[in-house]
Amino acid sequence: MRTGAPAQLLPCGTKRSGHLAHRRYPLGANLIVGIDNKIKFIKRMAYGFRDDAYFFLKIRTVFPGVG
């Protein structure tokens, strides 16, 4: 349903998938930004590594609970 109305004026049913996703994965924007900043820091430290697998291994050691 595409209308010209702002999101605040639309009925709640149109944002239902976003609400359900937030219930399942309660990640706020601040947590996502923090994770992104850590990955950027690792990327700066890893400048010059030739092996991408080692870079992803470094990321997985910082975030062990994911995957």
Grouped pLDDT means (10 residues each) for the chain, 67 residues = 56 67 79 89 81 86 76
**Domain membership flag for residue 50:** yes
Structure tokens at 50: 């030739």
Give the contacts of 19 (CB within 8 A, at least 6 positions apart): 12
39 within 8 A of 59, measured Cβ to Cβ: yes
Looking at residue 37, its pLDDT comes to: 93
Residues 6 or more apart in contact with residue 67 via CB below 8 angstroms = 60
Q: Which two tokens stand for residue 11?
A: 């009925």
Q: Is residue 10 in a domain? A: no
Q: Which domain holds residue 42?
A: 35-67
> Is 8 among the domain residues?
no
Residue 53 lies in a domain: yes
Tell me if 67 sits within 8 A of 60, measured CB to CB.
yes
Number of domains in the chain: 1
